[in-house]
Each structure stands twice: as C-alpha cells, then as structure tokens.
Amino acid sequence: MATALAKTADTDTSVEHAARIAHVSKSFGGPAGQQLVLDDITLDVAPGEFVTLLGASGCGKSTLLNLVAGLDRPSAGDITTDGRPALMFQEHALFPWLTAGKNIELALKLRGVPKADRRPEAERLLELVRLHGAYGKRVHELSGGMRQRVALARALAQDSKLLLMDEPFAALDAITRDVLHDELTRIWRETGLSVLFVTHNVREAVRLAQRVVLLSSRPGRIAREWTVSIPHPRRIEDSEVAELSVEITEELRGEIRRHGQH
C-alpha cells in the first residue's frame, strides 16, 4: 500500500493547483474488519476553480473533504493543497456566547491578525457577505441564512486560497438557499477563491460549479465528471441547468442501482 501523505505547498504565483488529490484511498476499521470508503481518488482543483462533489449519501464525499482539510489522513495516496484550506460545515458551528463580529474576530486572532485590526476586518467581511451592521448581534438573533453568512465570513477570515464546503445550505429553506447560492457565486468571483463544495443536490451542483464530479456509491470512486459551461448568472430553474441536472441525475441513479445490486 502506498504511503499516505498530506502536505501543504508554499504559496506563490507558480502554484498550478489549489488542491491535488492523487490516488487517495481511505479505509475505516469496524467489527467486520476494514471497510474501504474511498478507492483510488485522483482529482485536481485549479486556482480559482469551483468544483462540486456529488454522490449518494454514504459515498464518501464528506470523508474526502475531511482528508483535504487535514482533519484525517488517507490510508493511501497523496493530498497537496496551496496553503491551509478553510472549512465550512452544514451546521454553522458559531459560538453562541459571542456576537457575529466576535466569532469572526476569533478566526482572525488564530490567524495572527493584530488586535487593533480585527474589528475593522470583521466588519469588512460582514459587509462582503451582505451583513452590514450585524457585528454586535448574538447568534440567537440571526436567522438560519444569516448564521451561514457569518460562518462564511469566518471561513473567509482564515485568508485561505481554498474553501471547502460540506453541504453548507442543506438545512435552509429553498428561497434562502437560492439567495445564498447567488451570494456565494458573487463572493467566489470577487475573491478568486478555489472552492470544493460537497452536495447531494444535483441542481445545486450544476447551478454553482464549473465542474461537477460524481462519486460512485461506496467505495467512492470518481464515476464521471462534467464541465459546466453555462454562463453566469445562473438560476436553479434555468432550462440549461435543468437539462444538465437531468443527465447527471440519471447517472446518479445508475450508480445507486449498481450499488444496490452488490
């Protein structure tokens, strides 16, 4: 078995990949022995690229994201990122005893930003996610969508080149999710971030991404990729989004059927 490595590249203008995943596999031990969750995944994310990872529940999408984030190590293969990635979860994970601004300032403090500079930067980031004036609001005063905006601002406070997002809008209602799709697209285009976004929602994947990567059911392997050339701004109800979503959904159904026959 290949040696498992996870390392960070020095950040410079010559970096060709925000993330490089090379022949990565991951197994977990259990009562029945080792269970292979990811099998020989190879995937590159280019600087400034938006990639969505799509697949049925349990296919290993979140496991792969955790490996890229450095929260776990692969059983085999190499993962290299351009700097330390920022990670945003489905749950906002904000500290309820802190205000929105102080939640962001905590990330700035951990990054080493001087105390005098933290509040202005936190307010700038709140402005970026369209939460002007929310610095002093407590978590319980914020709606679900507003909490996810604060969580996004906190992730951006890490000043990473690669943003990892694990179904961050799954718990939101359809209208709020649609608005946040617009906001995320705007922020991605304004900042030049690279984004690796996990979802099980096909239309969400097509609406957001430049490239959609479909993982097979467990063990997760790359089953197929699509380049999404639909121009922005995209709407989830657009005919081109719907057409490509139907094609990808059929592939996803096929993967689920194949898994069920094993």
Do the domain assignments include residue 128?
Answer: yes
Do the domain assignments include residue 135?
Answer: yes
**Alpha-carbon distance 170 to 6, whole Å?**
29
Q: What is the pLDDT of residue 15?
A: 60
E strands of 167-232, at which residues?
Answer: 194-199, 211-215, 222-227
Q: What is the pLDDT of residue 223?
A: 93
**Please, are residues 142 and 163 in contact by the beta-carbon 8 Å criterion?**
no
Do the domain assignments include residue 236?
Answer: no
Do the domain assignments include residue 100?
Answer: yes
Do the domain assignments include residue 238?
Answer: no
Question: What stretches in the chain show pLDDT beneath 50?
Answer: 1-14, 261-262
Residue identified by tokens 């690669």 is 162
Q: What is the pLDDT of residue 12?
A: 42
Residues 88-139: pLDDT tens digits? 987 778 999 999 999 999 999 999 999 999 999 999 999 999 999 999 999 9
Q: What is the pLDDT of residue 254?
A: 87
Do the domain assignments include residue 229?
Answer: no
E strands of 205-247, at which residues?
Answer: 211-215, 222-227
Q: Is the dihedral of CA 110, 116, 120, 126 positive or negative?
A: positive
**Please, are residues 39 and 221 in contact by the beta-carbon 8 Å criterion?**
yes
Do the domain assignments include residue 50?
Answer: no
Do the domain assignments include residue 117?
Answer: yes
Q: What is the pLDDT of residue 54?
A: 94
Q: By residue range, what is the domain housing residue 130?
A: 87-159
**Structurally, how many domains does the chain consist of?**
1
